[in-house]
Structure 1
């Protein structure tokens, strides 16, 4: 409990453990022996005996050890039940042990003539009074707190702090009382004169202490009925403490028979609770031994059952792990729902697909908000299925991502049957990302459209002109023109087929590259000369006189630059010039092909190097093309560890920049 709360159940320990009749009977016998010894000594209490200085240290060294051990045992019980009343008992025995220690240290002629700490003749006597007066007062406080806070248990951290504060407080109290009785020794009232008790001690202090202790004993026994182990032995301790003071009063002074008997009562008072606890600890140990023997007798069967259980658990765990790993490694989003449509399990692919996690307990229909089928909102289908309005289904759905992209999925929903026929355990929902398939379908459709146009056009021209030449008599001038057109359309058809073959080889990884050291300036000069005058365009090369070397495949690089120059001429129909630059920049060779034509719209730049992509513009559609050239250029240049970028302005032209790695001349 984080705060002080009423405990919901009693914690089993020696403080709360109930005493049985035999335990109470044994405690009664011990108390009777203490009383009997005290009564038998009454006729002889005033007889003075020899002053045995060793008697005091012998008795009190044992008393001090017993008191501190008892305090430790009680504190260990406090750590178990953390009751405030037990903390008072801990403080009582800690105080008793500490005061007994100071008492023996300040007693005259034990260590020095007047006692340690510059003690006076009254110091030890007053410490004795304080010690015995404090015992019944502490028991009274214990009863009050036990009555008021019987069901309160501190939190572990608070109990630890209070235990530390109690220890410090008791030590400070002992130090303070020691200081008062030693520093103000000459101001203390005289309670002991020449080894004899004064009337102040007898009537002003001793008799009230005996009376208070007796009342405390009666009240405590009446309240507790010695019903617990601790209360039983505390009754004996209170009795011994009272007899201690009573015998001292009867003896009248130090080193009388009564004084020596009182020391024995002090010994009994100190060790009786500890002895009772040790006795109960021993009994608990014996009971534990018996229980252990019973457990040991059934150990074999237990181990067999445990082994079988662990084996079954391991198998179940392994199977669960395998199933979970399979579900997590799936490329599909897998969701398991209960019969009402609440989520039980969802793999990580769900969050990857739909950009937010699907929490356990969430309704599936709520998660599907925003998803659409071809004819309705998808969450309506999910709700209808879980309401058993429609059978298991397979639907294609789409959604808009946070980036504004449209993603496509295929969803299938199936029931999960129970072990008994006709029972339903839940439902399995699977979602497969088919965005790429949709894109490929679109590409295929566009491909078919492009192919049907790009192949049919030159074939129609070829077939038409061949038919004319075969069936009609034409002039030599027209024959030459028709044959030139057939040749031109044949080259166009051949280039188209070569583009398809190049793309297929690049995709399959079968395109071979033969790298060698090439002079980029010489390579571009040769290419530019071939394009001079084509379609009324002048191609001008701007390059340094000295060679610039790159590592590349000559045929493939020629293919790249022929393609780019061809595009520059094709898409600048209103211009008459293109410029080609060969430059170097920090170990890179930059080859720029600049035209002054149509330019490229900004929204087309991110798709410009995509296969079959053509800018959707009527001016460009008239020009024709398959949309494969730039994608081939990009893949060839990337195979050379370079890249191709474009800088364009709509209506003013474009600059395609090919970056290659410069090498030293061999």
Structure 2
């Protein structure tokens, strides 16, 4: 059947709703009552009663209405299930309703003496026969279609078309039956005489109808086992129709007791299925109402739980965000691994530290390839830890950066354990950059070495000459020379200690500055005069303006320029010329000290003012110094809101420029 499609699953409706034992028991009681009433009336079927004119219209208007309603309910179930067999039931009840209507309209003395449609006294009997023959045939058709097409269903469009075709076909069939039983009734055999059925009708029509209905009842019951609500009540309807015809065949004319009982059976046949369906539909509605209430209650509970869940989710999300921000803002690189060493989480500082992206699922030992611990390759250390060969550790590691610089780190690892279940969840690795610490340690070591050397040299000289003076008799000339040397070395030692103490005071902020208005030209003139001729160096002061005023601490600024001129003299041993410039330009005072000596390598310029730093050159190493002078200069100048700059060319000399804001009387100073 091309118009059918496979049935994916059973559709729950009144036709497929299983019947329970109580429902079947109630249906059997109704069937038993109908049977008993019919059997008890058999001995009295020929008892003639009075004609009740309103009985027929009342009973059959009810029959027609009930059967039409039943047909509509069955069709509504067809629209749900779209099973072909259901259309047969729809057609059967529609046909039964139509023939019932024709029967009452054609019955004599109801609406007309001989009935409507130009019918005769035989019409209602033949309509009755066709009516009671058509219903069991549609039941048999339903069983055949249900068996053959149980697992197929119409598509929505085809179901609508099939429904209309069934409706129109049934109407046409009723019209044909009405036509033959009214217009052509004279050509049909005579079956009724003086209100009594003739033996020919009983044998040739009545008994076959009873047999057909009985066989239909047996087949329907054994095929369905009254397993559904609809099939249970259809058994009662088929039984009532069979008893209807049986009592009519037992004798008794119109308006006899048997005739009235038969009509009552017709009434039972027409409404029993509808009553059962309405009853079950009402139960379904009540169950649905109860279910809807439970759903609404569940919906409310769900909304409450959903709200709580969403609030908890937001809280967890906010906490996760805070934790992630904390981890991201950490100065340490943090990596979380699972129990076998695969990366679960890593903050961005990992990539900054190691200049290599790290992704979730990467193997940490592979990522750390190329790093070294103090005693082995760091990759091997991590693998040994995950193999449980070594306990949690804290190690110093190093690597060479992409720029070729040696980087130093400290790595520590902690296992993550679920305290409640005592279960290992993973491992947390932390990496702390200690490159600057290493550099400072190296500088401190170098500083200690320099200080030791610088202190030892003057101390050795002082102790040696003091020992000579204390143990030997020397001439006055030598004594004076030795005392001068002791004094010189003592001053050297004192200057070294003072530099170190000045730097410590500047660092701690305990150094007090006494600001006053100073003439830069006069200040530099005094300092140049003190250094003039030192180590055969000629210092020339170039003053372009006689009145460049600055605001500063005179003693500390003298310390700055003494240091710079001293350096110029020390680092130009083969040149005797030093130029000092005092200039004023654009609201600033520039003091430049230029020598023509050794010069400074380009790669050392950015580190020149760092503490303890000395240019690594053999020509400079033999020149004394602690590497603190320029750092002190920078600290003092910046405390005056100034700048110190350097320009140099190796072998050509250097220019140190100190820049201050010009001080003007009456204007605020920075």
TM-score of Structure 1 vs Structure 2, range by shorter chain: 0.5 to 0.7
Which residue, 25, 30, 33 being the options, matches 2:75? Answer: 25
User: Is the Cα contact below 8 Å between 2:371 and 2:398 reproduced in 1?
Assistant: yes
Q: Which residue of 1 aligns with 2:442?
A: 442
- Work out the CA distance in 1 between the residues paired with 2:646 and 2:454: 26
Equivalenced residue count is 443
Shift of 1:233: 3.6
Mind listing any 5+ residue stretches in structure 1 that lack a counterpart?
1-8, 40-221, 245-283
Residue 659 of structure 1 is matched in structure 2 by 659
Superimposed CA distance per residue, residues 362-401 of structure 1 (whole angstroms, 9 cap, x where no aligned partner): 1101211221223432222222222333333222111222
Is the 1:19–1:227 Cα contact (8 Å) retained in structure 2?
no
State whether residues 413 and 429 of structure 1, in contact with CA within 8 Å, keep that contact through their aligned partners in structure 2.
yes
Residue 18 of structure 1 contacts residue 229 of structure 1 at CA under 8 Å; is this kept in 2?
no
Return 227-236 or 467-476, whichever deviates more: 227-236
**Corresponding residue for residue 547 of structure 1:** 547
1:624, 1:241 → 2: CA distance?
A: 123
Instruction: Give me the whole-angstrom Cα distance separating, in 2, the residues matched to 1:374 and 1:31.
Output: 96
Structure 1 residue 38 displacement after superposition? 12
Aligned to 1:582: 582
**Are the structure 2 counterparts of residues 544 and 323 from structure 1 closer, same or farther at C-alpha, using a change threshold of 3 Å?**
closer
2:531 maps to 1:531? yes
**Residue 513 of structure 1: how far off its partner (Å):** 2.7
C-alpha distance in structure 2 between counterparts of 1:238 and 1:486, whole Å: 133
1:342 and 2:352 are equivalent in the alignment: no
Could you tell me how far apart the structure 1 residues matched to 2:549 and 2:160 are? 104
Greater mean alpha carbon deviation, residues 318-327 or residues 396-405: 318-327
Change over 3 Å in CA distance of 1:305–1:647 after alignment to 2: closer
Structure 1 residues 30 and 343, CA gap change in structure 2 (3 angstroms): same
Q: CA deviation at 1:312?
A: 5.9
Residue 395 (structure 2) pairs with residue 395 (structure 1): yes
How far apart in 1 are the matches of 2:590 and 2:286? 93
Of residues 546-555 and 453-462 in structure 1, the stretch that sits farther from structure 2 once superposed is: 546-555
- Aligned residue for 1:636? 636
Asked whether the equivalents of residues 545 and 583 of structure 2 are also in contact (C-alpha less than 8 Å), the reply is no
Q: 1:253-305 CA deviation, whole Å, 9 max, x = no partner?
A: xxxxxxxxxxxxxxxxxxxxxxxxxxxxxxx9999865441133456765775
1:425-469 CA-to-partner distances (Å, cap 9, x unmatched) read 222212111112211211221111011111111112122222222
Q: Kindly indicate whether the alpha-carbon contact (under 8 Å) linking 1:392 and 1:415 is maintained by their aligned counterparts in 2.
A: yes
The within-5 A match list for 1:404-423 is 404-419=404-419, 423=423
CA distance in structure 2 between the aligned counterparts of 1:297 and 1:649, rounded to whole angstroms: 88
Name the structure 2 match of 1:594: 594
- Matched residue SS, 1:455: helix
- The aligned residue for residue 486 of structure 1 is 486
Match of 1:250 in 2: none
Aligned-residue offset at 1:571: 0.9
For structure 1, which segment, 546-555 or 558-567, has the greater mean C-alpha deviation from structure 2 after superposition?
546-555
CA apart distance, 1:567: 0.3
Aligned to 2:645: 645
Distance (whole Å) between structure 2 residues aligned to residue 580 and residue 638 of structure 1: 21
TM-score, normalized by length of structure 2? 0.58
Calculate the TM-score normalised by the size of structure 1: 0.58
Specify the structure having the higher radius of gyration (Cα). Answer: 2
Residue 564 of structure 1 and its aligned partner are, at CA, apart by 0.3
Distance of 1:484 and 1:349 partners within structure 2? 59
Q: Tell me which residue corresponds to 1:505.
A: 505
**What whole-Å deviation, never above 9, does each CA across 1:168-221 have from its counterpart, x for those lacking one?**
xxxxxxxxxxxxxxxxxxxxxxxxxxxxxxxxxxxxxxxxxxxxxxxxxxxxxx
SS in 2 for 1:663: coil
For residues 330-356 of structure 1, the C-alpha deviation after alignment (integer angstroms, 9 at most, x for no partner) is 332221111111011122332332234
Contact 1:334 1:428 in 2 (8 A): yes
Secondary structure at the residue paired with 1:623? coil
- Alignment partner, residue 247 of structure 1: none
Distance 1:315 1:544, change over 3 A: closer
Distance (whole Å) between structure 2 residues aligned to residue 317 and residue 523 of structure 1: 66
Q: CA separation in 2, counterparts of 1:307 and 1:231?
A: 46
Check whether the contact 1:549–1:665 (CA below 8 A) recurs between aligned residues. Answer: no
Contact 1:542 / 1:580 at 8 angstroms: preserved in 2? Answer: yes
Q: Which residue of 2 aligns with 1:119?
A: none
| Mapping for residues 179-328 of structure 1, pairs under 5 Å | 227=154, 231-236=158-163, 291-298=291-298, 320-321=320-321, 323-328=323-328
Distance 1:286 1:367 in 2: 67
Mapped contact 1:373–1:395 kept (Cα < 8 A) = yes
Q: Contact 1:578–1:594 at 8 Å: present in 2 too? A: yes
- Structure 2 vs 1, CA of residues 237 and 576 (structure 1 numbering), >3 Å: closer, same or farther? same
CA distance 1:286–1:497, change in 2 (3 Å): farther
| Aligned-pair CA distance for 1:409 | 0.5
* Residue 608 to residue 225, structure 1, CA distance change in 2 (3 Å): closer
In the alignment, the residues of structure 1 paired with residue 330 and residue 658 of structure 2 have an alpha-carbon distance, to the nearest angstrom, of 40
| Distance of 1:499 and 1:237 partners within structure 2 | 112
**Against the structure 1 CA distance between its residues 243 and 537, is the aligned structure 2 distance closer, same or farther, given a 3 Å change threshold?**
farther
> Cα gap change, 1:523/1:309 in structure 2, threshold over 3 Å: closer, same or farther?
same
Q: Are residues 476 and 526 of structure 1, via their aligned partners in 2, closer, same or farther at CA, if it must alter by over 3 Å?
A: same
Provide closer, same or farther for how the CA distance between residues 482 and 303 of structure 1 changes in structure 2, counting only shifts above 3 A.
same
Q: Sort the Cα spacing of 1:287 and 1:503 in 2 relative to 1 into closer, same or farther, 3 A.
A: farther
State whether residues 385 and 392 of structure 2, in contact with CA within 8 Å, keep that contact through their aligned partners in structure 1: yes
Q: d(CA) in 1 for partners of 2:635 and 2:94? A: 107
Q: 1:591, 1:611 → 2: CA distance? A: 23
Cα RMSD (Å) of the superposition?
4.1
What is aligned with 1:210? none
Partner Cα distance (1:592, 1:238) in 2: 113
Structure 2 partner of 1:607: 607
CA–CA distance in 2 between the matches of 1:562 and 1:240?
121
Instruction: Give 1:333's aligned residue.
Output: 333
- 1:516 corresponds to which residue? 516
Note closer, same or farther for the CA distance 1:406–1:18 as it changes in structure 2 (3 Å cut).
Answer: same
Cα drift, residue 665 of structure 1:
4.8
Alignment of 1:33-52 (within 5 A): none
- Matched with 1:351 is 351
CA contact under 8 A between 1:35 and 1:243: conserved in structure 2?
yes
Cα distance in 2 for residues equivalent to 1:480 and 1:388: 75
Distance 2:426 2:383 in 1: 14
- Aligned partners of 2:596 and 2:654 also within 8 Å: yes
Mapped partners of 2:659, 2:288: distance in 1: 84
**What secondary structure does 2:662 align onto?**
strand
CA drift of 1:235 comes to 3.7
Q: Show the counterpart of 1:618.
A: 618
Q: Does 1:377 align with 2:377?
A: yes
Q: CA deviation at 1:606?
A: 2.1
> Structure 1 residues 371 and 288, CA, compared in 2 at 3 Å: closer, same or farther?
farther
Q: Who is 1:571 aligned against?
A: 571
In the alignment, is the contact (CA less than 8 A) between 1:522 and 1:547 conserved in 2? no
Cα distance change, pair 294–473 in 1 and its aligned pair in 2 (3 A): same
227 and 637 in structure 1: CA distance in 2 versus 1, 3 angstrom threshold: same
Partners of 1:647 and 1:654 within 8 A in 2: yes
Task: State the 1:618 CA deviation.
Answer: 1.9
Alignment partner, residue 72 of structure 1:
none
- Asked if the contact 1:340–1:386 (Cα under 8 Å) also holds between the matched residues in 2, the reply is yes
Distance 1:302 1:539, change over 3 A: same
